[in-house]
């Protein structure tokens, strides 16, 4: 806790996408960070803390953006935070190897007049490309502090913190702003005077307000309209835009953007020199191989196959340790508690339900580790580039595939990632197909069924086939939706490939632990509640015992008589053509809340039928059940892959589309598709003698 003499600072961390901003944020804050949403919007808000000298610094990681024009939600959120919350310092993270493109955002911060520090990141990448950057000259030209940083190694962090403290104390008295030329500057001077005279938006820099009015910024125009009752200011801005357009033949916003680029280009020409012998960019060599038109797709599928093989094989030993722990915990609970309903609730409902899901934490962590490595290394964008040609065939582009790949971790952030798509049509189609990707919540179901019905050397291949089938179904449905549901020409798109980076151990672990912890939290809340609820629905109402009935038969009769058994019996006729009985129906019904609960419900059903409900014994019980088979297990895996998204996914579909119509459509079409696919696989397998 900060002492009374400690000064509090709020620092906004801004920058282009792929500038290394997240890596720097992790280096600055470590584990002292949390994630939420900005008030009133769905954009993620990341905050972290750091003590430096007598300062306690709160870092706010703004959404990655190329400008502050407020065309996208991310740009609007970033700009509003700076204008309304007024951080003490803005740290603009710029990619040294793409300095000219990154400094455009810095020119906009200079216009805002905020205390600014440039964190010139990836200096090692720039050096590898033969670039020599004179940061002292850059700082002098812009009138702000410029600090060299290699965030992936933690280099320059202390120097950056020192620059932040100095900027908070002294500001940027020598900061330079873009000059737009005689005609525009003349109109800007007049508009600036008018803004000051009218007292419009007095809490904002007058020149910046004048610039935005000249650019016809919609948000600023609305704000001015609320306090400019006479309308003179807006009329003056309209007249200035009209005059400039008549002279230049172009929109003032375009001309001003060109001036900013010219300003940035001039600065870069001064500060960047190339070494006499420029080194060969190894990333170009890697791209010639990894994004090759012929080899790119096979390499991508090889990486995916290796990922799932690794998740299953490397996760097996720690999973076995956790199984043993929860088996011991259950036995201890049964020995410590008197026989009865309390014992059953604790041992079967709580420990069996939650433990049956937590044993898969090692596999989930390994999956998130692999996804984090793909993202942080820069290969995720290459994968989207490789698949871009395929995506064009279904009416989308590679950017949609990035959201689909994120769906391997969790559908919720994957759907939120579709905000980067410019076309609403593309957004909705991508949102509708993301639930067909196998999220981490489905992985425990796959591992349970594969472990019960398939040999160990085939397990990874079987799971990989389910993931591939999910991708193929998603592409097929995208084609159908594009043709019949939301027709229209594909949007033009230029794919940006960030430079390759060596993922840092710290950054990778932070990403893995963050996502893994969300899974554990889910197990301790949603899954715990649903496990207890399913135990209750499977236990009540009680049925009168029959003295001549065997124990297994009595347990089976009790389940059939229970509330859950009645639901399963009602659903079973619909699922019978797929090879599923009432026990599977009960498990699938419980999975509507979260797919992991399918595992815990199966554990509860089979434990009530007399089997031990630790995961190892559950696999044995499933494998020895005469009503089940490998074909039925594979059909069940596909049904779990496709059918109704979890409650959280349905909620985020509604939130992102602002329509219950699309959320309910997702529920309906996935359920119908799941039935059709499982039916074809099961009945087709029987026809060829597999069942």
pLDDT digits (tens, 9 = 90+) for 392-436: 788 887 778 878 887 887 787 778 778 767 678 888 999 999 999
**Residues of the chain above pLDDT 70, percent:** 87
Q: What is the dihedral of CA 266, 270, 272, 275, to 10 degrees?
A: 130
Mean pLDDT is lowest, of 131-145, 303-317, 538-552, 660-674, for 538-552
Q: Is the pLDDT of residue 38 over 50?
A: no
CB atoms within 10 A of CB 4: 4
* Stronger pLDDT, 374 or 121, i.e. the higher one: 121
Give the dihedral sign, CA 624/626/629/633. Answer: negative
Average pLDDT over residues 18-42: 69
* Stronger pLDDT, 555 or 303, i.e. the higher one: 303
Average pLDDT over residues 600-622: 69
**Residues of the chain above pLDDT 90, percent:** 20
pLDDT 10s digits, 335-365:
888 887 787 778 776 777 677 667 777 877 8
Residue 418 in any domain: the answer is yes
CA distance 29 to 506: 11
Range of the domain at 360: 297-490+508-687
Same domain, 443 and 578: yes
Q: Is the pLDDT of residue 605 over 60?
A: yes
Give the closest residue to 314 by CA, choosing from 275, 367, 262. 367
Residue 267 in any domain: the answer is no
- With cut-offs at 50, 70 and 90, classify the pLDDT of residue 556: low
Same domain, 653 and 560: yes
Cβ-count burial 404-440 (b if 16+ within 10 Å, e if not): bbbbbbbbbbbbbbbbbbebebbbbbbbbbbbbbbbb
pLDDT 10s digits, 432-452:
999 999 888 888 889 889 988
Q: Is the pLDDT of residue 612 over 50?
A: no
Same domain, 54 and 160: yes
Residue 138 near residue 267 (C-beta atoms within 8 A): yes
What DSSP character marks residue 614?
Answer: S
Residue 16 in any domain: the answer is yes
Give the closest residue to 569 by CA, choosing from 544, 586, 588. 586
Which residues face 59 on adjacent strands? 11, 48
- With cut-offs at 50, 70 and 90, classify the pLDDT of residue 280: very low
CA distance 345 to 612: 14
Same domain, 335 and 391: yes
Q: How high is the pLDDT of residue 544? A: 67
Average pLDDT over residues 651-658: 83
Same domain, 150 and 208: no
* Stronger pLDDT, 217 or 680, i.e. the higher one: 680
Residue 495 in any domain: the answer is no
Same domain, 113 and 229: no
Residue 169 near residue 163 (C-beta atoms within 8 A): no
What number of residues does the chain have?
691
Same domain, 548 and 586: yes
CA distance 585 to 658: 32
- With cut-offs at 50, 70 and 90, classify the pLDDT of residue 276: very low
Same domain, 587 and 630: yes
- With cut-offs at 50, 70 and 90, classify the pLDDT of residue 164: very high
- With cut-offs at 50, 70 and 90, classify the pLDDT of residue 278: very low
Q: Give the pairing type, strands 131-133 and 272-274.
A: antiparallel
Residue 508 near residue 372 (C-beta atoms within 8 A): yes
CA distance 556 to 668: 32
CB atoms within 10 A of CB 647: 12
Q: How high is the pLDDT of residue 595? A: 83
Average pLDDT over residues 456-461: 84
pLDDT 10s digits, 168-216:
999 888 888 888 877 788 888 888 888 887 776 777 888 888 888 888 8
Q: How high is the pLDDT of residue 41? A: 42
Count how many domains the chain has: 3
The pLDDT mean for the chain works out to 81
Tokens 């097929």 belong to 476
Residue 616 in any domain: the answer is yes
- With cut-offs at 50, 70 and 90, classify the pLDDT of residue 608: low
Average pLDDT over residues 493-516: 70
Which of helix, strand or coil describes residue 684?
Answer: helix
* Stronger pLDDT, 303 or 499, i.e. the higher one: 303
Domain harbouring 137, CATH code? 3.40.50.300
Give the closest residue to 682 by CA, choosing from 625, 638, 643. 638
Which residues face 118 on adjacent strands? 92, 146
Residue 264 in any domain: the answer is no
CA distance 94 to 14: 9
Q: How high is the pLDDT of residue 397? A: 73
Mean pLDDT is lowest, of 247-251, 554-558, 616-620, for 554-558
Residue 282 in any domain: the answer is no
Angle of CA points 324, 330, 333, to nearest 5°: 140
Q: Is the pLDDT of residue 137 over 80?
A: yes
- With cut-offs at 50, 70 and 90, classify the pLDDT of residue 83: confident
CA distance 649 to 663: 9
Choose one of 136, 170, 204: the last residue of a domain.
170
- With cut-offs at 50, 70 and 90, classify the pLDDT of residue 554: low
CA distance 578 to 678: 6
Same domain, 142 and 199: no
Residue 43 near residue 91 (C-beta atoms within 8 A): no
- With cut-offs at 50, 70 and 90, classify the pLDDT of residue 158: very high
Residue 278 in any domain: the answer is no
Q: How high is the pLDDT of residue 614? A: 57
Average pLDDT over residues 663-675: 95
- With cut-offs at 50, 70 and 90, classify the pLDDT of residue 642: very high
CA distance 106 to 113: 11
Residue 319 near residue 309 (C-beta atoms within 8 A): no
- With cut-offs at 50, 70 and 90, classify the pLDDT of residue 219: confident
Q: Is the pLDDT of residue 509 over 70?
A: yes
- With cut-offs at 50, 70 and 90, classify the pLDDT of residue 31: low
Q: How high is the pLDDT of residue 546? A: 66
* Stronger pLDDT, 508 or 29, i.e. the higher one: 29
* Stronger pLDDT, 608 or 69, i.e. the higher one: 69
Same domain, 384 and 357: yes
For residue 621, give both structure tokens.
């019980």
Q: How high is the pLDDT of residue 283? A: 66
Same domain, 345 and 314: yes
Give the closest residue to 636 by CA, choosing from 471, 446, 406, 508. 446
Same domain, 166 and 186: no
């Amino acid at each position: 806790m900060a002492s009374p003499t400690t000064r509090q600072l709020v620092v906004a961390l801004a920058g282009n996408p792929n500038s290394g901003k997240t890596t720097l944020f992790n280096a600055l804050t470590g584990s002292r960070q949390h994630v939420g949403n900005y008030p009133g919007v769905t954009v993620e808000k990341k905050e972290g803390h750091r003590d430096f000298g007598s300062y306690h610094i709160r870092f706010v990681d703004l959404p990655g953006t190329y400008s502050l024009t407020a065309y996208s939600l991310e740009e609007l959120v970033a700009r509003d935070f700076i204008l309304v919350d007024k951080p003490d310092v803005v740290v603009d993270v710029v990619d040294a190897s793409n300095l000219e493109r990154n400094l455009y955002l810095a020119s906009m911060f200079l216009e805002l007049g905020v205390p600014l520090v440039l964190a010139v990141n990836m200096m090692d990448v720039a050096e590898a490309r033969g670039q020599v950057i004179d940061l002292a000259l850059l700082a002098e030209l812009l009138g702000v502090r410029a600090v060299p940083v290699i965030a992936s190694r933690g280099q320059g962090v202390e120097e950056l913190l020192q620059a932040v403290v100095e900027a908070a104390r002294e500001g940027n008295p020598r900061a330079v702003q873009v000059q737009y030329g005689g005609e525009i500057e003349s109109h800007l001077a007049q508009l600036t005077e008018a803004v000051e005279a009218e007292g419009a938006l007095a809490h904002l820099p007058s020149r910046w307000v004048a610039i935005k009015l000249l650019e016809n910024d919609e948000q600023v125009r609305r704000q001015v309209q609320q306090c400019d009752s006479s309308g003179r200011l807006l009329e003056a801005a309209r007249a200035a835009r009209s005059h400039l357009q008549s002279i230049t033949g172009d929109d003032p916003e375009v001309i001003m953007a060109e001036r900013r680029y010219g300003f940035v280009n001039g600065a870069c020409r001064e500060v960047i020199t190339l070494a006499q012998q420029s080194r060969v960019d190894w990333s170009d060599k890697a791209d010639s191989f990894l994004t090759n038109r012929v080899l790119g797709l096979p390499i991508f599928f090889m990486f995916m196959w290796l990922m799932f093989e690794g998740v299953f094989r490397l996760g097996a030993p720690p999973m076995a340790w956790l199984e043993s722990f929860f088996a011991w915990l259950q036995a201890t609970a049964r020995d410590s508690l008197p026989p009865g309903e309390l014992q059953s609730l604790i041992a079967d409902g709580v420990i069996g339900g939650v433990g049956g899901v937590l044993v898969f934490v090692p596999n989930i962590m390994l999956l998130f580790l692999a996804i984090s490595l793909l993202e942080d290394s820069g290969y995720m964008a290459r994968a989207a580039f490789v698949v871009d040609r395929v995506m064009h065939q279904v009416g989308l582009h590679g950017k949609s595939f990035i959201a689909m790949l994120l769906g391997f971790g969790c559908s919720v952030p994957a759907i939120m990632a579709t905000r980067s798509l410019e076309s609403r049509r593309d957004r909705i189609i991508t949102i509708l197909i993301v639930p067909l990707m196998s999220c981490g919540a489905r992985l425990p179901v796959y591992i349970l069924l594969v472990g019960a019905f398939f040999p160990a050397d085939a397990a990874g291949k079987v799971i990989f086939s389910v993931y591939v089938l999910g991708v193929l179904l998603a592409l097929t449905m995208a084609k159908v939706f594009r043709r019949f549901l939301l027709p229209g020409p594909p949007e033009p798109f230029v794919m940006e490939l960030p430079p390759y980076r060596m993922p840092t151990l710290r950054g990778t672990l932070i990403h893995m632990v963050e996502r893994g912890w969300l899974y554990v939290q889910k197990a301790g809340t949603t899954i715990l509640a649903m496990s207890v609820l399913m135990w209750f629905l499977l236990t009540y109402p009680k049925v009168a015992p029959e003295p001549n009935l065997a124990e297994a038969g009595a347990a089976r009769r009790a389940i059939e008589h229970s509330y859950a058994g009645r639901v399963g019996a009602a659903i079973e006729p619909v699922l019978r053509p797929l090879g599923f009985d009432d026990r599977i129906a009960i498990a699938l019904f419980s999975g509507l809340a979260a797919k992991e609960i399918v595992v815990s419900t199966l554990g509860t059903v089979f434990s009530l039928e007399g089997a031990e409900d630790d995961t190892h014994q559950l696999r044995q019980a499933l494998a020895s059940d005469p009503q089940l088979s490998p074909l039925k297990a594979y059909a069940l895996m596909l049904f779990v892959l496709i059918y109704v998204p979890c409650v959280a996914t349905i909620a985020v579909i509604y939130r992102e589309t602002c329509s219950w119509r699309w959320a309910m459509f997702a529920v309906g079409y996935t359920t119908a598709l799941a039935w059709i696919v499982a039916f074809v696989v099961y009945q087709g397998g029987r026809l060829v003698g597999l069942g």
